[in-house]
Amino acid sequence: MAQIIGAIACSHTPTIGFAFDKNKQDDPVWSPIFEAFKTVRQWIADRKPDVLFLIYNDHVTSFFFDHYSAFTLGIGESYPVADEGGGPRDLPSVAGHPALARHIGQSLVADEFDMSFFQDKGLDHGVFSPLSMLCPHEPSWPVSIVPLQVGVLQFPVPSAKRCYKLGQALRRALESYPEDTRVAIVATGGLSHQVHGERAGFKNPAWDAQFLDLIENDPVRLTEMTQAELAELGGMEGAEVIMWLVMRGAMSANIEKVHQTYYLPSMTGIVTAIYENKASLAVKGETKRHLAHMNQQLAGAAALSGTYPFTLERSVKSYRINKYLHEMIVPAHRAHFRNDPESSFEQAGLSQEERRLVRELDWRGLIHHGVIFFMLEKLGAVVGVSNLHIYAAMRGQTLEEFQQTRNAPNALYSVAGKEQSLQEWATAK
């Protein structure tokens, strides 16, 4: 079973990444940052976690306000460094852990958290600023990560209490994961700071000290605080410390703080802290009960002949071809496909099997491969194949055989717009 070996809390200010990239280790102004992270880096090296569950907020880099979610879990295979305006930092991508991520996601949804999921997105300084200090990165990072993005920049945001409850659900998810996996939880952000308006530069070291005491010894008191109260004491952007409550909720009630530092070089109080569990052993049967709870909603679906629920596993496995087909909504992409399909396959990096499936319009094969139906619908609109043709092909029937089971046997339709000629349907596969 997976084991939570401890938790790390640290700021994610870009100051940290700047000091690292500019080799400021020997500069007396910057060296305290390196000293603070040195202990945490050694703890990771000694305890050897397999995965860092990393709680952060994106700074309107990879997530914009066209779709902004409260809790967004990364389920992808890897995560590159995001370009925040001046080009990405010179760091390699970090591996994800899709199997653990989808287990966590399924567990959190079963516990009635309405999660969003992401892959194929870069991570900004919310992740890579502290990560560059936590672990070596050459030739590659020694750990994989599961990132949780918390939407704290556009109100309304999750309450402190909701974040704490999410942490409690996260603990159930992690401790029910069936593989022997060592997990360290990393909470990033804070402490007191404000970066906008006439209050920019606000800091409150006294509140920072009180917060650190409460997060360790009495976190429930923090869960009662409003965003306005947190902003008054710690600055508007400093209210992102609610993310620390996700970490604290995932730990046992009794913890031991084995390290803590605080340094305020500029805008943000830079903190590093390490907490270790004093957890009791699992109660007999609780993991089995939780796994049954997680699987309740789809129990029996696998027995439905010809039915393939589009799970997180299928989403990750077939992300590339689903993305390729989804881009049929872009005029330039579908023009490229129509004019030179082999070149478009190559550009998208499709496998030979994926190319064959698209080339042959193997509708049933595409479903079996992991393509969601609504991508078939888009491909059909581009090549002149109606939805009804696709339905019949997936059933292994001719169009005529399928239409005999309908109340409108002559009806053909598609999502195609003005580019589609209906006459093409007469000869479509």
Residue 374 has pLDDT above 60, yes or no: yes
CA 78 to centroid of chain Cα atoms: 11
- Asked if 125 is an active-site residue, the reply is yes
Q: How is residue 292 written in tokens? A: 């049954």
pLDDT for residue 421: 52
Q: What is the CA radius of gyration of the chain?
A: 25
Indicate the pLDDT class of residue 68, thresholds 50, 70 and 90: very high
Burial of 182 (0-12, 13-18, 19+ CB in 10 A): middle
Burial of 196 (0-12, 13-18, 19+ CB in 10 A): exposed
Backbone angles phi, psi at 401, to 5 degrees: -60, -45
Instruction: Give helix then strand counts, H and E, for the chain.
Output: 19, 10
Indicate the pLDDT class of residue 190, thresholds 50, 70 and 90: confident
- Asked if 193 is an active-site residue, the reply is yes
The single residue of 97, 193, 333, 389 carrying the catalytic annotation is: 193
DSSP of 199-231:
TTT---HHHHHHHHHHHHH-HHHHHT--HHHHH
Which is it for the CA torsion 188, 9, 76, 304, positive or negative? negative
pLDDT for residue 62: 97
Residue 428 has pLDDT above 80, yes or no: no
pLDDT for residue 263: 93
Whole-angstrom Cα distance, residue 256 to residue 277? 6
pLDDT for residue 427: 55
Burial of 77 (0-12, 13-18, 19+ CB in 10 A): middle
- Give per-residue pLDDT as tens, 85-128: 999 999 999 999 999 999 999 999 999 999 999 999 999 999 99
DSSP of 52-101:
EEEEE---SSS--TTS--SEEEE-SSEEPBPP-SS---S---EEB-HHHH
Backbone angles phi, psi at 158, to 5 degrees: -60, 145
Whole-angstrom Cα distance, residue 129 to residue 151? 18
CATH architecture assignment, domain 318-427: Orthogonal Bundle (1.10)
pLDDT for residue 146: 98
- Give per-residue pLDDT as tens, 282-339: 777 889 999 999 999 999 998 999 999 999 999 999 999 999 999 999 999 999 999 9
pLDDT for residue 420: 59
Percent of the chain with pLDDT over 90: 88
CATH topology identical between 3-295 and 318-427: no
DSSP 153: S
pLDDT for residue 419: 74
DSSP of 311-374:
-HHHHHHTHHHHHHHHGGGSHHHHHHHHH-HHHHHHHHT--HHHHHHHHTT-HHHHHHHT--HH
Match 């050897």 to its residue by tokens. Answer: 48
Of 17, 127, 5, nearest to 72 (Cα)?
Answer: 127
The single residue of 97, 103, 125, 389 carrying the catalytic annotation is: 125
pLDDT for residue 273: 97
Indicate the pLDDT class of residue 357, thresholds 50, 70 and 90: very high
Class of domain 3-295: alpha beta
Average pLDDT over residues 131-148: 96
Residue 426 has pLDDT above 70, yes or no: no
Going edge to edge, which strands form the sheet with 255-263? 116-118, 71-74, 144-150, 51-56, 182-188, 3-10, 270-277, 255-263
Residues ≥6 apart with Cβ < 8 Å to 176: 1, 2, 103, 107, 287, 290, 291, 294
Helical H segments across 111-204, by residue range: 125-134, 160-175
pLDDT for residue 304: 93
Domain boundaries, the chain: 3-295, 318-427
pLDDT for residue 425: 63
Whole-angstrom Cα distance, residue 10 to residue 137? 18
Match 């022997």 to its residue by tokens. Answer: 180
The answer to whether the beta carbons of residues 375 and 325 sit under 8 Å apart is: yes
pLDDT for residue 417: 84
Whole-angstrom Cα distance, residue 378 to residue 83? 31
- Give per-residue pLDDT as tens, 195-234: 999 999 999 999 999 999 999 999 999 999 999 999 999 9
Residues ≥6 apart with Cβ < 8 Å to 230: 160, 238, 239, 241, 242
Cis bond before residue 178 (omega within 30° of 0): no
Indicate the pLDDT class of residue 412, thresholds 50, 70 and 90: confident
Q: How many CB atoms lie within 10 A of CB 283?
A: 8
Q: What is the mean pLDDT of the chain?
A: 94
Q: How is residue 340 written in tokens? A: 């030179």
Whole-angstrom Cα distance, residue 314 to residue 271? 39
Residue 429 has pLDDT above 60, yes or no: no
